[in-house]
Amino acid sequence: MSLRKHICHVARTHLELRITYPLLDIITHANDVKSCFKQMKLHPDIMAAFSIIVADFLYLQSALPFGTDFSPQNWEPVRRLVEVLAEKLFEDKSLRDKHRKYLDRLQWEPSLGKANTPFVPAKACTQRKGVLDTNGNPVPTPQRLFVDDSVYAEVYHDDRIRIEQTIAAGIEAIFILLGHSNLDKRQDPVSFDKMEAMLVSHLNKILGKLIHTRRMDVGIPQQYVDKTIQLLRPFHDQRKSFTVKEMETITGMLVFIASTAPWLNFLLSQVYTSITVAIGDNTRYLSRTNKQFRLFLKEAKEAREATASSTYAQSESAKQVHACPRKHYINRTLKEELSLIRKALSSKHLNLRTPIAHLVRRDPSAEAWSDSCLYAAGGYSATMKFWWYIEWPKEVRDYTLIYVRNNKDGQLISINVLEYAALLINYAAAYHFFHNNPDKSDSFPMV
């Protein structure tokens, strides 16, 4: 499961809780499996393959090594079982007493249950109905694991029963699958130090994202954004070139920010294209100048044709391509994108946070339709009660396919552009409608 998908799963739980409990605090917390890959043991027959010699000593690894490509796959069944088992164990009321010594170590945000301002509401729909079953009882709290991090959300009551029950069920699930605490023989399978260090709070940093359940939004820490801006600053308007490693580092950070600032995704097209072209150029350059690289490529190709595995050759050839110091030209469109991104991230007027309601599948607040031809465009919405029609001015029609049969001079106005213009007019109409007819139960409408 990708990080974005995992955050969406967690966000869905927050939205469902807010629908059912509009006046109560919602907490986010996480539990961590300590050294999760090390919890899985290697078969004795293959331990020798992962042996290490240091000085005169031979060390045999008994657990899954970090860094091998099969460790995540081997861990995946356990990850899924923890999720299922924790939810099933939620009904076992004895677990709070059983794990009381761990629950008493939890640190609680002092302001829980004492908020002075109203919480941002969430609106129920056919896809999001809250957390009550058909009998009106709260369903067991789901727990979602991203690799070894179990993330969960629950409503806060003064008695703290449901939150403690959720955490106790997660601890028991991990103990059942990986072994109970026995510090005389092995380390605990649960990172109790991390569990204690993370506040049980309405605002928490989960997997690098700041989740705020009172405002019902998700964002990136400002320190991370500032670090990204620092990396972008050397790419000023006079900068002429870049290396693949430089651009990939920046792009990775921008993609992470874009997960909670979706508008940023639309500014990265030329960055992706430039990296793709540069990787191809590096590959051709190394093929001409590096004999070892050619051997790696040949070995990897032969392995693929024989449906065999050549992880080492593939890994080494990829490393050389991405680490190649060869410089690549920054063209005009890439320069414009980087400049625009740098200014956008530095702006105090653009929001880098996303409402949870925009990360979760739910019924749209309204629907609108639009279309365009070479002469005119129109749009309407029955739910928002608007209708519009506009004929394109002569200055536009003269550069459409009616009068321009090809695009040799680059002056042709595509029908796609005209359809997009109609969409923007609909967007403006929808914004006007919700600005003048706000729905207090739907703070973040979707059209």
C-alpha distances (whole Å) from 227 to each of 249, 253, 319 are 12, 9, 25
pLDDT in tens, 354-373: 999 998 999 999 999 999 99
Q: Is pLDDT of 169 > 80?
A: yes
Q: How is the beta sheet containing 369-372 ordered, strand by strand?
A: 369-372, 376-381, 386-391
Q: Flag whether pLDDT at 345 surpasses 60.
A: yes
Q: What is the pLDDT confidence band of residue 343, given thresholds at 50, 70 and 90?
A: very high
Is 187 a residue whose pLDDT tops 80?
yes
317, 340, 356: which is the final residue of a domain?
356
**Does residue 441 lie in a domain region?**
no
Residue 202 pLDDT more than 70? yes
pLDDT tens, position by position, 259-278 = 888 889 889 998 999 999 99
Q: What percent of the chain has pLDDT above 70?
A: 98
Last residue of a domain, one of 175, 194, 219: 219
Asked whether residue 235 is domain-assigned, the answer is yes
pLDDT digits (tens, 9 = 90+) for 382-418: 999 999 999 999 999 999 988 888 888 888 999 999 9
| 161 vs 436: CA distance, rounded Å | 43
| Structural domains in the chain (count) | 3
pLDDT for res 184: 83
Whether residue 447 is contained in a domain is answered as no
Q: For residues 238-242, give the mean pLDDT.
A: 92
CB 127 within 8 A of CB 361: yes
- 277 in Cβ contact with 291 (< 8 Å): no
Query: Long-range contacts of range 400-407, CB-CB < 8 Å, 24 or more positions apart?
Result: 400/374, 401/374, 402/374, 402/375
For residue 289, how far is the Cα from the chain centroid?
39
Same domain, 7 and 153: yes
Is 443 part of a structural domain of the chain? no
In a domain, 252, yes or no: yes
Asked whether residue 330 falls in the same domain as residue 244, the answer is yes
**Whole-number Cα distances in Å, 303 to 297, 298, 310:** 10, 9, 6
Residues 126 and 86 in one domain: yes
In this predicted structure, what is the pLDDT of residue 308?
Answer: 55
Is pLDDT above 80 for 5? no
Are 28 and 61 contained in the same domain? Answer: yes
Residue 273 domain-assigned (yes or no): yes
Taking every pair of C-alpha atoms in the chain, what is the biggest distance, in angstroms? 86
419 falls within a domain: yes
User: Of 324, 356, 388, which residue is a domain's last?
Assistant: 356
More confident call, 392 vs 309:
392
Find the range with the poorest average confidence among 52-66, 136-150, 351-365.
52-66
**Rounded average pLDDT over 330-345:** 92
Query: What is the radius of gyration, based on Cα positions, of the chain?
Result: 27
Rounded distance between C-alpha atoms, residue 264 and residue 262, angstroms: 5
> Is pLDDT above 80 for 161?
yes
pLDDT of the residue at 310: 59
> Among all chains, which residue has been given the structure tokens 């649960």?
190
- 177 and 89 in a single domain? The answer is yes
Judge whether 146 lies within some domain: yes
Q: Which of 7, 17, 208, 6 is nearest to 119 (CA)?
A: 17
| C-alpha to C-alpha distance for 284 and 359, rounded to whole angstroms | 41
Q: By residue range, what is the domain housing residue 396?
A: 364-436
Asked whether the predicted pLDDT for residue 46 surpasses 90, the reply is no
The residue type at 340: L
Together in a domain, 202 and 235: no
pLDDT of residue 307: 57
* Mean pLDDT of the region 79-102: 94
| pLDDT, tens digit (0-9, with 9 covering 90-100), for 425-437 | 999 999 999 999 9
Q: What pLDDT does 119 receive?
A: 94
Section 145-171 average pLDDT: 93
Together in a domain, 399 and 311: no
Q: Averaged over 313-318, what is the pLDDT? A: 83
Overall average pLDDT of the 125-134 stretch: 93
pLDDT at 93: 92
* % of the chain at pLDDT higher than 90: 66
- What region, left, alpha or beta, does residue 208 occupy, with left being phi > 0 and alpha being psi -120 to 50 degrees? left
The reply to whether 84 and 153 lie within a common domain is: yes
426 in the same domain as 278 = no
Give the pLDDT confidence score for residue 386 in this predicted structure.
96
- Side chain identity, residue 98: K
Q: 198 and 279: one domain?
A: no
Pairing state between β 57-59 and 52-54: antiparallel
Say whether pLDDT at 74 is over 80.
yes
Say if residue 105 is in the same domain as residue 233.
no
Do 268 and 163 fall within a single domain?
no
Q: How confident is the model at residue 309 (pLDDT cuts 50, 70, 90)?
A: low
